[in-house]
Amino acid sequence: MAICTKCGNPKVIINRKQSGQSLCKECFIESIRRKAIKTIKKEKLLEKGDKVLVALSGGKDSVTLLDILDTFRKRNIIDICAVTVDEGIEGYRNEGVEIAIRHAERLGIEHKVVSFKDSFNITLDDMMKIPNHRGSCTYCGVFRRWIINRAARDFSATKIATGHNLDDETQAILMNYLEGNVDNLTKIGPKTESKSPLFTPKIKPLREIPEKEIGLYALAKDLEIHLAGCPYSQESFRGEIGEILKNLSKEHPTIMYSTLRGFDKIKEALKKENKGNFASNTCVICGEPSSNEICRACTFLNELNKN
Ligand code: SF4
Ligand code: ZN
């Protein structure tokens, strides 16, 4: 029987295949906190006085992110506010929204819930009833980013923090690579900045932590989280890539780490080579930053209205 590699406690909750480390509950919680802080320091994700908007869905990733960032708030290093996007997915989203509200109330932070219905006058479920639609996750991502970016300005936030984990990052790398989407590849990273002052920089403090360990952290800390999966998740290419990576990780436990590390090394060179398609205009319809005359959100809304 393994004992905790750090303190010798015989009550081990995790055996890390990738490092051979075994940890008890307390040492595991501390190791996750330290990992996130290491990413924050290494990538200079936070500055004293930042007002960080947490994209809080109520799921394990965003709740863990809020829990870790809150330690910085308690030490008066940053201020935190939160936004929850309600896409309008019947039987799925409501519970997450309620959990998010409870976390915000518990911590006493500013929080708002913004729905697709209020912002675009249509729910994601209704978009899926329209012929020739582009698929749930395409709309979901674009409209969600639109709402979060606008919320950041409403809150006067200086950073937007999202709960992307190691699995999410490696999925995005592989997915965009396989699709040949170099523009999107150059946007993957710990911090996304834009020349447009309308964009708030986005940070991902959990990007080096595997999804499984984030789930375990939430469990170990007894954090209330929304466990249900989105009913549309099977439809996505990302889901397929996720399966491939999970299967590979069984025999090659370090594969996600090496994918991320390798990508981080070539990213700067990639950015130099690829001038990219970056938001340098503002959308003539909604005024949000856009690389074209009309932003993706407004383009999609026009299409949906036509169909
Ligand atoms: Fe949105 Fe797709 Fe995620 Fe569901 S699985 S929440 S539709 S991005
Ligand atoms: Zn627009």
**Ligand 1 centre and the CA of 11: distance in Å?**
37
Alpha-carbon distance 221 to 67, whole Å?
Answer: 9
* Residue with the two structure tokens 């606008």: 150
The pLDDT of residue 279 is 65
The pair of structure tokens assigned to 162 is 């999202």
Question: What pLDDT was estimated at residue 278?
Answer: 64
Which of 105-119, 177-191, 274-288 has the weakest average pLDDT?
274-288
CA–CA gap between residue 51 and residue 69 (Å, rounded): 11
Label residue 76 left, alpha or beta by phi (over 0 means left) and psi (-120 to 50 means alpha): left
Q: If 0-12 CB within 10 Å is exposed, 13-18 middle and 19+ buried, where does residue 121 land?
A: exposed
pLDDT score, position 80: 98
CA distance 164 to 23: 24
Distance 252 CA to ligand 2 centre (A): 43
Does residue 5 sit within a domain?
no
What span, in angstroms and rounded, lies between the C-alpha atoms of 189 and 43? 10
Determine the Cα–Cα distance for residues 266 and 250; give it in Å rounded to an integer: 26
The answer to whether residue 277 is domain-embedded is: no
Q: DSSP state, 228?
A: P
Domain extent for 79: 25-271
**Nearest bound ligand to CA 285?**
2
Token pair of 28 as six digits = 């595991």
Query: Order of strands, edge to edge, in the sheet holding 202-203?
Result: 110-115, 79-86, 51-55, 159-161, 202-203, 191-192
Residue 293 lies in a domain: no
Q: Return the structure tokens found at 177.
A: 């690579």
84 within domain boundaries:
yes
**Which atom of ligand 1 lies closest to the CA of 136?**
7
Rounded CA gap, 64 and 53, in Å? 14
Q: What total of structural domains would you count in the chain? A: 1
Question: Does residue 290 fall inside a structural domain?
Answer: no
182-217 tens-digit pLDDT: 989 999 999 998 878 899 999 999 999 999 999 999
17 lies in a domain?
no
pTM of structure: 0.95
Adjacent-strand bridge partners of 23:
14
In this structure, what CATH number is given to the domain that contains residue 127? 3.40.50.620
Q: Is residue 45 part of a domain?
A: yes
* Nearest CA residue ID for atom 8, ligand 1: 137
pLDDT at 233 over 80: yes
**Rounded mean pLDDT of the chain?**
95
